[in-house]
Chain A
Amino acid sequence: MKKPLALAISAAALAFTSAALADDPKEGGVVNTIIQPEPPGLVLGMVQNAPTRTVSGNIYEGLLRYSTDLEPMPQLAESWEVSEDGRTYTFHLREGVTWHDGEAFTADDVVFSADVFHRELNPSARAVLQHVESIEATDDHTVVFTLTQPFGPFLLSFEAGTFTMVPEHLYAGTDFRDNEHNDHPIGTGPFKFSNWERGTVIELVKNEEYYEEGLPYLDGVNWHIIPDGASRAVAFENETIDVLPSGTVENFDIPRLAEMDNVCMTEEGHEYFSPFAMLWMNNREGPTADKRFRQAVMYAMDREFAKDVLWNGLGNVPLSAFGSNARFQNDDLEPYDHNPERARELLDEMGYDGEEITILPLPYGETWTRWAEAVQQNLREVGINVETQATDVGGWNQRLGDWDYDLAFTYLYQYGDPALGISRTYLSDNIAKGSPWNNVEGYENERVDELFNEAATAFPDEEREKLYREVQEILHEDVPVGWLMELGFPTLYRCDVQNLVTSGVGVNDGFKDAWLDR
């Protein structure tokens, strides 16, 4: 009962000084936020799920951090150099960094993490490591990566979630998955793991020994686990929760919550992932095999409507295969506007005979179901005979993996660079039955393959840009898939939580700089 009084007094005291100190961060305070769903584990690199990245991005760190423009920023690496030929990357590590258990962080940890730990456990790091010939620690604070050939997006791969630094002294020579320290993750980050009450809360506390002077400001971060969406919204409404990371409440709740007093919303902090919603179109058979039909679908859809009504106006309607957050976007392309007339013309031209096609919604909740209904209606209005087939996640995975569909909704992460997140959808050697995440549409175009492959390893960036611009023109014309929307994933928070989103992964590593103006 003492606490509220003390708070009231300090609040009153602050009221006098706040004008003078408006921009000076205050120390102290604990932020309550949500993690949804509960992560299966907290050791990054071993567990790759989104909720693990969100919590553990504050415990572990990578060599680099990325701004909301996806520019690399120093983290464990203080500075870095790229050789003239684009094959050698030298990282200079910060000195005086210690693990949460007091041991010093050195170049050996980097080599162990990259060369041993991630090579064994982490498929997304492995995809990058295939371009790496050798990793060497030249002294305690210098690491040199030598690539087999230039790889444009290399500098974008050092985010904490993808290339986590794990402590060699705890993991070397052990069975990683059975390591006793997995229950008590040890990182270098601004917060230390404190307690995990399963099904209730994950508590992180301030790392007093953190190497950046004065950081973090907060005493701790509590990640509450509340399985029901409506209850999460209520917890935010009654101020139990200060921060709602993106995706923790349903879309239709967002406008209501955002309108509350003292609630702020930001769309920043998802640039690194930049989820891109797409409509798979089966390029192999049926009307969707005809380019004109696929173009007609693009013209028939009212994508602005979907953005405004289903996504509360957040997000972005893309021009073609490259989203606005991806590098090398070609913005000279003509947009596929909502143009039912043009769609009908194209259908007449190809002689579409009214053959029935099916559409598979993404079984991820109400918003996606409504979206499929809207697209179905858009298509019917230009004379396409389309039926929706409801399915569950398993059925969706299976039917896409078996190529048993005409149209299907999905969304994919872009990871900042076309070679990491975009080319995989269009490369013909990425056609393989059984997975709903590769070139599912069955698009094959030799020139596109050439351009993408060349661009991935071209050097420097101007070269890459030229190749990527050309590939976008071809894709824009061929429409291998429907480009629906770059999704806006807003973060909601009390306005007195300051400086929350400072990087391209948002709250995943954001509590480092955050402070409470209370």
Chain B
Amino acid sequence: MSFFARFAQNRGALVGLIILLLIITMAILAPLLFPESPWRMVQRPFLPPLSQDGFPLGTDTMGRNVASGLMHGAWVSLLIGLVSTSVALLIGVPLGAIAGYYGGIIDDVLMRFTEFFQTIPNFALAIVLVAIMQPSITSIVLAIAIVSWPPVARLVRAEFMSLRNREYVEAARLVGQSNTTIILRQILPNTLSPIIVLASLMVATAILLESALSFLGLGDPNVMSWGYMIGAARTVIRQAWWLSFFPGVAILLTVLALNLVGEGLDDALNPKLSRER
């Protein structure tokens, strides 16, 4: 059975993938459909959805187009999700690999270091980091990456520990391959499937984290993100429900889609496990 066929066996995953593709399309089409900045004040404020042509989702407190903000926001959310996950992987994977492969004192030191980060509540740490570095896309991506790498490190370490004494690794060692080569070319490729599954879920968490930060007013003030839209709309929720509703639905769908896809990937990459289920 092909990879995609196995993936598609999970109906939920297929739905998730379709939603995700739609959102990606939205992000790509945003500058084409709404070439003007989403910050532009284009109509009178508080237009309800569908009350005027060109403003299917209405306008916000300042007369900005909600539909435009939603589409441009998709790009920001996905970008932050992907980049911060990549950064988290760049930190977590090497640390986990080294700890798991070498074991002993190196493992101890690295794991205590990881636990140090794990014991601090994620969100609190992210708030502190963003507040210290001043809110900007870069600081938000970094903060999210810094709070989300420990699970990666632990996962990779566990995988490495179980793989490092396998026969093919012993064989590689016998042939005289260096440790680096063994880590990178022998073991790492075999740990990729759980990492990919974890990463897809991390993207979802990152999007949520970014939204929560923006909601609290710690978003980059120069980009229109979904969290920002909800945060700004919170204060007028009694007058204008649509301002928080649509970005809220967008976040919900994106996170749901990513979780479904993650599950599908898990099934597809670990066919044995999924059949046992």
Interface residues of A (CB under 8 A from B): 250, 252, 256, 305, 309-310, 361, 366, 369-370, 372-374, 376-377, 380-381, 387-392, 395
How many Cβ-Cβ contacts under 8 Å join chain A to chain B?
52
Interface residues of B (CB under 8 A from A): 37, 39-41, 45, 61-63, 131, 134-135, 217-218, 220-222, 232, 235-236, 238-239
Shortest CB-to-CB span from A272 to chain B, Å, is: 29
The answer on a CB contact under 8 Å between B61 and A377 is no
Q: Which DSSP category, helix, strand, loop or mixed, fits chain A's interface? A: helix
Instruction: Tell me whether A370 and B61 are in contact in the complex, defined as CB-CB below 8 angstroms, given that A377-B37, A387-B222, A388-B221 are known contacts.
Output: yes
Kindly list chain A residues whose C-beta atoms are within 8 Å of the C-beta of B239: 252, 256
The answer on a CB contact under 8 Å between B217 and A390 is yes
Kindly list chain B residues whose C-beta atoms are within 8 Å of the C-beta of A372: 221
Q: How far is the CA of A309 from the CA of B239 in the complex (A)?
A: 14
Instruction: Tell me whether A392 and B221 are in contact in the complex, defined as CB-CB below 8 angstroms, given that A256-B239, A370-B232 are known contacts.
Output: no
Q: Which DSSP category, helix, strand, loop or mixed, fits chain B's interface? A: loop
The answer on a CB contact under 8 Å between A373 and B39 is yes
Instruction: Tell me whether A390 and B135 are in contact in the complex, defined as CB-CB below 8 angstroms, given that A373-B39, A376-B39, A377-B40 are known contacts.
Output: yes
User: Which listed residue, B131, B218, B236, touches A252 by the CB 8 Å rule?
Assistant: B236
Q: How far is the CA of A236 from the CA of B176 in the complex (A)?
A: 80
Kindly list chain B residues whose C-beta atoms are within 8 Å of the C-beta of A387: 222
Kindly list chain B residues whose C-beta atoms are within 8 Å of the C-beta of A373: 39, 62, 221
The answer on a CB contact under 8 Å between B63 and A309 is yes
The answer on a CB contact under 8 Å between A388 and B37 is no
11 of the cross-chain contacts (CB-CB < 8 Å) are A252-B239, A309-B41, A309-B45, A309-B62, A369-B217, A373-B39, A377-B37, A388-B221, A389-B134, A390-B135, A392-B131
Shortest CB-to-CB span from B181 to chain A, Å, is: 46
Kindly list chain A residues whose C-beta atoms are within 8 Å of the C-beta of B222: 376, 387-388
Other A-B pairs, 19, CB within 8 Å; known A256-B238, A366-B235, A377-B37:
A250-B235, A252-B61, A252-B235, A252-B239, A305-B41, A309-B62, A310-B62, A361-B221, A370-B62, A374-B62, A376-B39, A376-B222, A377-B40, A388-B222, A390-B134, A390-B218, A390-B220, A390-B221, A391-B134
Q: How far is the CA of A395 from the CA of B131 in the complex (A)?
A: 10
Kindly list chain A residues whose C-beta atoms are within 8 Å of the C-beta of B39: 373, 376-377, 380
9 tightest CB-CB pairs across the interface, nearest first? A388-B221, A390-B135, A390-B221, A377-B39, A366-B235, A252-B236, A387-B222, A309-B45, A388-B222
Q: How far is the CA of A243 from the CA of B157 in the complex (A)?
A: 64
Instruction: Tell me whether A389 and B235 are in contact in the complex, defined as CB-CB below 8 angstroms, given that A377-B39, A377-B40 are known contacts.
Output: no
Q: How far is the CA of A391 from the CA of B133 in the complex (A)?
A: 10
User: Which listed residue, B61, B134, B220, touches A309 by the CB 8 Å rule?
Assistant: B61
Q: How far is the CA of A351 from the CA of B239 in the complex (A)?
A: 45
Kindly list chain A residues whose C-beta atoms are within 8 Å of the C-beta of B131: 392
Shortest CB-to-CB span from B31 to chain A, Å, is: 16
Kindly list chain A residues whose C-beta atoms are within 8 Å of the C-beta of B134: 389-391, 395
